[in-house]
Structures are given as structure tokens and as C-alpha cells.
Structure 1
Amino acid sequence: MTVVSSDSKDSVFQYSVLYKRDLPQLSEEGDEWVERVEYDVEFGGGGIIENIIARNLNYYLQQEDDFENILPDNALMERLERSTTSVNRSSIVSYATKYAYNYNPAYISYAAQHADCTNFASQAMYAGGWKKNYEWMGNDVATTNAWAVADDFYWYGLGRSLTTYANMIPVSGSPYQTMRTGDLMFFTYSGSRKIKHAMIITKIINGEAYLTYHSNDNLNAPFSSIVTKVEPNTSFVTLNVTP
């Protein structure tokens, strides 16, 4: 990615970049093609990417080829992503365990804002096999909302079929039998429509989840101890990581 120009206005930074990527040609031939597209990348507060705009869409309209057979729509891209994503649960757990207290310098940190839980969970999912894309991306400079904001991350996983809904209160017993290490747990407050916190299940002992997370960093914290530290109106939600 090459920065061509930059400008800022009202705390939103705008960069014109040239980004070269190899994409599979979605036609019967199965060849590869390369696009070189100029983008506007807008950054908001905290370095989070607010928007990415491809500026030269006329490029595609001017081509002689039938791009309806080559360029995928959003639904097709989602199906392709699901078909090519293979999750390694042990890699998720290993990453979370390694960086529970020692932050990975390859990624920006929101520890100073006490808001690094979802950024950390996304890193672990990436280590486990999830694919980065324009909507879900993080590095040492910036992150997208789906990467670093708990509510956006929660709905991104469900919307892309990367996760499936498991249960509301994962205590010991039958509600917990669908959960495995590498799965995700979130909590919210009664009456709120927003997911507030993301955690990774890194151990299961006698039917109880042990969780690892950033923001009040913790490694293998038992669920039974976490429920004693949250507000009484807290609801926990668990998601299975697929496949």
C-alpha cells in the first residue's frame, strides 16, 4: 500500500492510497487477475478506520470483459470467505495464552483506553484462521470497528457465519455442552442493545469456562469468579466459532 496524498478535516484523516492485491478470478477459467485501485481511507478517533472508498469504479465499467462473471457481489464474497475459512482452535487458545499479559507489538493497543478486549479477541481469531478483509482488519496502525468494537465484532461473526449463537448463561451443566475452547463469550447489561465486552474460552474444567481477555487483563479466569465481579444486571452470551 502506497500513500499518494493525505489531508485532515474535523479530526477525520483522509489518505489516497494505491493498494495492489491479487484476487481469484471468479470465472470458469480460474485464472488470477490483479487490480490496482486508488482508495480513500478515512480514520476517526483512536486510529479506527471509519470508511474505505474505491475512487475509480469507472475502471471496471470501461473493461471489455464481462465483469458480471468476474467481480463478486457481497453475498458471494461472504460465501467464499466461509468456504475458505478453517479454524484452528488450539491456535486461538495458544495466541490468547501467549499475549494475555504481553501485548503483541504487531497490533495497535487500546489498553490506555481500557478498551482492548475486542482488539485482542480479533487477534486470536486471526491467529486461528479468520481472514482479514476491508470490514475486519487490524494492524499496528489502525483497526476497523468490526475488529475492535465488541458489538460490531459480535454481529460481524454472526453475519458472516463465522460464529453461531450458543446460549445466554454458560454455567455448568447442559447449557454448556455445546461450548469448546477457542469459542467466544460476551456480556451486556439488561436493557442494553450493545455488547460490552469480549472474552475467549481458553480452558474448560468440570463443565466450567475459563476465560482469557484484555481490559483488566486476565488469563484463564474461571467464569464463577467473573460473575461475582460484574453488575447484577449483566447477561452473558456465548458464540461457537465455526466450522
Structure 2
Amino acid sequence: MILAQKAIFATDVIPFEIELETSEEEILEENTESPEPSTSSPKLSEEELMTKFFDILSGIILNRNEYVLNHDIESLEKLYDTDIKVSRYAFEHESIKADYLANWAQKQGITFSDIDSFIKMRKVRDRENGLFGMTCNINTTYTYHYNNEPEVSTSFSLGTSHYIHLQQKGEDYVIVKEWYTDPFSDSLELKGKEPQELTDFIVSQNAPDFTPSETLKKGLEYAHTYCGIGAGEHMFKYNSKSYMDCNPLGGDCANFASQIMFESGAFKKNGTWNYDGDGTATWVNAQKLTYYLMNSGRGGRIAHGSYEKVYKSAFNLRPGDIVAYEKKGRITHVSTVTALDNKGYPLVTCHNTDRLVVPYDLGWSNSNITFHLIDVYY
């Protein structure tokens, strides 16, 4: 059985870096309300700015994580200047996300016990009058336990790339702008309380007695190493020596799922599913990969439908299987199951947004999401 225990995570992992181009930064500058001038500090060197704002931003993110963890929306708001429109939007987004995490935890029958982030600064720019712009990567690790089994903790990680403006206010700094690709963006349609029957079913489960084959082990190790937030020398790195990064072309999720299958040694390339400098459509496209698996004899559908229709069947998923996510009639994302928690709940690993052993439905809770659960025949 593969469990995602807290001990398997290094505390200093960071995600795949995506540095914003100058033109994108300029676009993000548009329509930003200018803050009131404040007393500027003496000019610092680039290295001094990086050091200074690593500490400042780390403190802000540390506090934000604590406020989200404790659902302290009043304190969360104080990290922003809500008189500025884009800052208010950033706060409202984080507030909704905090509500979502609280709702998801209630549905799941779990309690989040810790949220911890590691920051990799990319660039800091002094924009005058106490305003500083910066790009950075943040790896955030969430730890939870089931309320009826508090002695067992499970951790998962999310990697995000951020563009942030901090404005000095007296001795402190507040967030006046923040842009990032949010892994919870398909979850911010808040629902009412889920039926108690759903929660009762989840917490009553036990992890299956499962031992992966040697080929599957290779695939899972590859997934955890090259997911974009792997540990050690693989921090914020994809396997760019062997495979292209399809993010600039629309997304790298299917490319990575195909890599996991191939690198396990269980699946050979063929004329339909192939990578040789670039990938066939069935290799790099989420929808085409999903239907290829079901039509080629390499996989079969366990279930599909809304979360309420598939959540019981999802306990039949095992590491190596795939979850595909459909929106508006099109499969737009795939993730690979690479672990199970202590209830047997499937945990997925994928690219864009980079996820490492994350509960498969976390971030995919809107009513327009259809899940396809695929048994991959290792």
C-alpha cells in the first residue's frame, strides 16, 4: 500500500519555474491604481532586494497560510489594501479559497493541521514610492488527518508561479496586486453542505492491501521525481532532457501522464501513441489520451460523471490509474493516481498546475466538472 505520509516530503521543495516575460509584466501593470506616495528607502542592489523581500514575502505568506488554515478572514484582509481594486480582488479570491478549503475539509471528514510554503524568489524590481514588484515560485504543502483517525497524517504539495506587488505601509508591506495560476480555480463555485452520507462513506473506508509491480514502481518514482516539485536536484525541474514542455502550447498534463506510463517500462510506443522529439496527439492531448487508453486495450473506464456519481467508484482506483476532468463537453486535464491515503482515497500527481499526491477532486469541485476514472492496465 502506498501512503502519502508527511515524512516523505522535503521542506524545501519548490515548483517548476515559469518566469513571466517583460511584456506580460507590462500587461499586468495596466489598470493598476497607483498607491499614495510614501517615503522611499535608499536604493538597494538587486542582491539586497532579493534578500530583503525573500524575508518580507516569506513572513506575509506564513501569516496568510495561518489565516487560511484557521479560516481567519478578518486577519487575512489586513494583508491587502482593499481600497485598491486589484488588491481587493486578490483578497476576495483568497477569501473564497479559504471558504472552499473549509467546505472541502468538512465534506471529506478531515482537518487541515498545517499549511507550509517554501518560496523561490525570481526577480524583484523597485517601482518607486515604496512599491516593489516581484516574481517568485511557491511550493505549498498541506497536511491533514481524518477526524476519526487523527493519529495518521497525509501531506500533499502544490506548486505555483506568482507575480506580486508589495506596497510599504509604515513599517509593514501589504499585497496590492497578485497574479498566479490557481490550482483551485475550478473549485471556487461554493456549494452548500454536502450530504452527511457522502462524508460517512469516505471516513468508513480502509486503504486496500496493494503492492505495486516493479514496472509500476518505476512509473510512480518517475512521477514523484519529475512532477515539478520533486525533491533534491529535481526541485522545480521537469525532465527537459528527454521531453519537451508543452505548457507554452496549452498544457503539459497529458505529456507527463504519457511519460509516466512509458517510463514505467510497461507500455511501448507505437504508431498511434508515440514521442520522438515531439508527441503524437494521443501522447500530448488530454482528451485524445483518455480515449486512446479506453479504445486501445491499455485501459478501461471505471466510472464517469459528477463527483456525487463517482466518489464511491473512485475507491477502486489504484496507483497508475488516471483521472480525466471534463468541462463543457471536453476533457481538459488528466492526472495520474500515484498514492492512496489511509482511507484509500486516490491522490494524484500531474503538471500544470504542478501537483504531488493531491486528493483527486481537490481543485475540481465546480458543478460543471465531469470525472472520468480510467483503470490503466499495468
Same fold by TM-score greater than 0.5: yes
Q: CA separation of 1:224/1:186 partners in 2, compared to 1, >3 Å: closer, same or farther?
A: closer
TM-score by length of 1: 0.58
Q: CA separation of 1:94/1:170 partners in 2, compared to 1, >3 Å: closer, same or farther?
A: farther
The two structures, once aligned, show a CA RMSD in angstroms of 2.2
Q: CA separation of 1:224/1:177 partners in 2, compared to 1, >3 Å: closer, same or farther?
A: closer
1:1-243 alignment, distance < 5 Å? 88-101=215-228, 102-104=237-239, 105-128=241-264, 129-139=266-276, 141-168=277-304, 174-190=312-328, 192=329, 194-205=330-341, 206-228=343-365, 231-243=366-378
Deviation at 1:240, TM superposition (A): 0.4
TM-score by length of 2: 0.38
Q: Structure 2 regions of 5+ residues with no counterpart?
A: 1-212, 229-236
1:91 and 1:127 in contact (8 A); partners too: yes
Q: CA separation of 1:197/1:207 partners in 2, compared to 1, >3 Å: closer, same or farther?
A: same
Amino acid at match of 1:162: R
Q: CA separation of 1:189/1:125 partners in 2, compared to 1, >3 Å: closer, same or farther?
A: same
Q: CA separation of 1:185/1:178 partners in 2, compared to 1, >3 Å: closer, same or farther?
A: same
Give the length in aligned residue pairs: 153
- For 1:157 and 1:134, locate their aligned partners in 2 and report how far apart those are by CA, in whole Å: 14
Deviation at 1:216, TM superposition (A): 1.1
- For 1:125 and 1:117, locate their aligned partners in 2 and report how far apart those are by CA, in whole Å: 13
Amino acid at match of 1:208: Y
Runs of 4+ in structure 1 over 3 Å off: 169-174
- For 1:199 and 1:173, locate their aligned partners in 2 and report how far apart those are by CA, in whole Å: 16
- For 1:173 and 1:153, locate their aligned partners in 2 and report how far apart those are by CA, in whole Å: 22
Q: CA separation of 1:199/1:224 partners in 2, compared to 1, >3 Å: closer, same or farther?
A: closer
Deviation at 1:202, TM superposition (A): 0.9
2:317 and 2:375 in contact (8 A); partners too: yes
| SS of equivalent to 1:120 | helix
Q: Structure 1 regions of 5+ residues with no counterpart?
A: 1-85
Largest Rg, 1 or 2: 2
Higher relative contact order (CA 8 A, sep 6+): 2
Amino acid at match of 1:135: T
Q: CA separation of 1:164/1:147 partners in 2, compared to 1, >3 Å: closer, same or farther?
A: same
Deviation at 1:157, TM superposition (A): 1.0
Amino acid at match of 2:216: R
2:314 and 2:373 in contact (8 A); partners too: no
